[in-house]
Amino acid sequence: MLQIERRMELVRVVSHNTHKRMVACLQGQIGTDAEKRHKKLPLTALSQAMQDGGNQLGEESLIGKMMEMCGDAENRLASELMQHEMNIEKEILDTLNQLAEVDIPNILKQRRQLAKLVLDYDSARARWLQATKSIISGTNTQALTAKADSLKEEVDEAMNKMELCKDQLSADMYNFFSKEADYARYYVMLLAAQADYHRKSFTLLESVLPTIQAQQDSWTEKPAFGTALDEHLKRSGREIALPIEACIMMLLETGMKEEGLFRIAAGASKLKKLKAALDCSTSQLEEFYSDPHAVAGALKSYLRELPEPLMTYQLYDEWTQASNVPDPDKRLQALWVTCNQLPKNNKANFRYLIKFLAKLAQESDVNKMTPSNIAIVLGPNLLWAKTEGSLAEMAAATSVHVVTIIEPIIQHADWFFPEDVDFNVSGMFSMPAPLPNNVNHLTPPDYDSGTIERKRPGSMVGPDGELPRRERRPLPSQHSHSTEHPSAHSSVSRQSQSHRSPGVPVRIASSPEACA
């Protein structure tokens, strides 16, 4: 019985502490009805704030849309939490409180009552024993006997009360001991209730997330820098990446005769501002025309920040092998084969960029940017190995190979890509004024292919360096560029030049608030 009593006292203490801590974990108000409890939950306040914010921003804002949808989801989570807490309160907290504050204290109260009855019994018995001793030594035997008999009745009554209380206490204590498994089950119920709550909450979130994610993915106004090329083109419905087209259109206007273009670093703050402007598709680009080095820096940054280089990781070995072919003619053939293996979007943007770089190299007497110089400064931003390491380490490891790949492609851009390019491919810009007549300053190839005909093959170069004889088209002659007028190889279609006037980019963003 003493062991049960000690166990009971410990159960009371730990149950009381557990109840107190469990109440502290609840976010609602104990004892209130469902509606009031729901209103007082922090999740409900969060939900209301999100929905109010979404209404203020409106549906034209992605943040507004997300806040409204998330606010509704948080409100539904608050309902689940409210129901969970009410179940916890009813099934676990109330029973723990009953055990710690009512059932066990009542049993312990009987224990104290029994102690009092034992004292009463001991006192009555002591007085009765004293009376019986007085009868033996006293003279008034009759009176003393009557008193002793009265005391004996008190002793018997006290004894009966004590036994009754003892029996009741024993029964209650044994009953408590037998029900310990039931009391322990409260903690199983707690975990089960929590599991059910989290399961319902997870199911709710799982049903909401695809809708919210689809809304996010469908939003077209997302940063272009650092985004995969295919994703950016698909989202924006473009053929040429916006940073590439915008930067090239600006450079065609003011940067073609700028000495050291792509080589001289731009101001960090101006470059950062231009990248941010391009990221949010703003039409406010006029201020950057006066700083072509910032524009060139933004173009380099876009190419470098692509998750995969424009010339792709997959073809890195093929590009390298092609650049190592000893024979100059076969080297060009191998580069052409590899170029044709580029994915559609990569090839279109690579072609667009190369045609521009070829035009830039035509002004090398003024801007000092020969195909070789362009390849040195821009090549490492077009192709790099898929290896761990710093930017400097990767650039150093690939720069030699890249220069031998990019330089001949720029030199012979019209052979690699015979079709004209309308640089204003999106129609969002105004074309620059036609360049004055001048001599093509492309660096001539270091070999004479004027008397040798080499044809672009239909498959890769073989292991022995031989090329299959399928398609037949002459390789470029080193003399052709020096005699022909530059406009004959212009990458801008004559028709587009004839009906467009010089100017600045027209509006790019769909709404003036796009970059607010």
Report pLDDT for 220: 59
Element counts in the chain: helices (H) and strands (E): 21, 0
The pLDDT confidence band at residue 275, using thresholds 50, 70 and 90, is confident
Please give the torsion angle defined by the CA atoms of residues 302, 303, 308 and 313, in that order, rounded to the nearest 10 degrees.
180
Position 511 pLDDT exceeds 50: no
Contact 511, 60 (CB under 8 A): yes
Least confident segment among 80-84, 210-214, 339-343: 210-214
Query: What is the C-alpha separation between 281 and 275, in angstroms, rounded?
Result: 10
pLDDT tens-place string over residues 153-211:
988 999 999 999 888 888 888 888 888 888 888 889 999 999 999 999 999 999 999 98
pTM: 0.55
Query: What is the C-alpha separation between 26 and 319, in angstroms, rounded?
Result: 63
Q: Three-state SS string across 33-64, please?
A: CHHHHHHHCHHHHHHHHHHHHHHHHCCCCHHH
Least confident segment among 86-95, 302-311, 384-393: 384-393
6 burial type by CB count under 10 A (0-12 exposed, 13-18 middle, 19+ buried): exposed
Beta-carbon contacts of 236 under 8 Å, excluding residues fewer than 6 positions away, are 220, 224, 242
Beta-carbon contacts of 511 under 8 Å, excluding residues fewer than 6 positions away, are 60
The pLDDT confidence band at residue 135, using thresholds 50, 70 and 90, is confident
**DSSP-assigned letters across all residues of 63-114:** HHHHHHHHHHHHHHHHHHHHHHHHHHIIIIIHHHHHIIIIIHHHHHHHHHHH
Q: Which domains does the chain have, with CATH numbers?
A: 1-218 (1.20.1270.60), 229-416 (1.10.555.10)
Query: What is the C-alpha separation between 195 and 410, in angstroms, rounded?
Result: 64
- Residue 46, token pair as written in the block: 């969060």
Angle, alpha carbons 246-249-252 (nearest 5°): 150
CA atoms within 13 A on the CB side of 138: 14
Work out the mean pLDDT of the chain and round it to a whole number. Answer: 79
- Residue 352, token pair as written in the block: 């667009």
- Across 101-110, 134-143, 343-352, the highest mean pLDDT is recorded for 343-352
- Mean pLDDT computed over 45-52: 93
Query: What is the C-alpha separation between 419 and 437, in angstroms, rounded?
Result: 21
Report pLDDT for 427: 79
Report pLDDT for 183: 84
Share of residues in the chain with pLDDT > 70 (%): 78
pLDDT tens-place string over residues 472-490:
345 665 433 333 333 333 3
Among candidates 241, 249, 240, 242, which has minimal Cα distance to 503? 249
Instruction: Please report, for residues 11, 99, 100, 177, 414, the alpha-carbon distance to residue 110 in angstroms, rounded to integers and kept in the order given.
Output: 17, 15, 15, 16, 105
Report pLDDT for 138: 62
Report pLDDT for 392: 54
Query: What is the C-alpha separation between 38 and 32, in angstroms, rounded?
Result: 10
Report pLDDT for 454: 36
Position 13 pLDDT exceeds 80: yes
What number of residues does the chain have?
A: 516
The pLDDT confidence band at residue 331, using thresholds 50, 70 and 90, is very high
Beta-carbon contacts of 493 under 8 Å, excluding residues fewer than 6 positions away, are 420, 421, 422
3-class DSSP assignment, residue 288: helix
3-class DSSP assignment, residue 138: coil
Among candidates 259, 385, 255, which has minimal Cα distance to 313? 385
Q: At what angle do helices 292-305 and 268-279 cross, to 10 degrees?
A: 60
Contact 118, 84 (CB under 8 A): no
Report pLDDT for 43: 92
Report pLDDT for 489: 36
pLDDT tens-place string over residues 86-130:
999 998 888 888 888 888 888 888 888 888 999 999 998 898 888
Position 2 pLDDT exceeds 50: yes
Beta-carbon contacts of 445 under 8 Å, excluding residues fewer than 6 positions away, are 328, 408, 411, 412, 476, 478
- Residue 504, token pair as written in the block: 């600045």
Share of residues in the chain with pLDDT > 90 (%): 36
CA 146 to chain centre: 96
Residue with token string 């491919």: 425
- Mean pLDDT computed over 257-273: 88
Position 498 pLDDT exceeds 50: no
Contact 441, 365 (CB under 8 A): yes
Position 11 pLDDT exceeds 70: yes
- Mean pLDDT computed over 240-267: 90
- Mean pLDDT computed over 256-281: 86
Report pLDDT for 491: 36
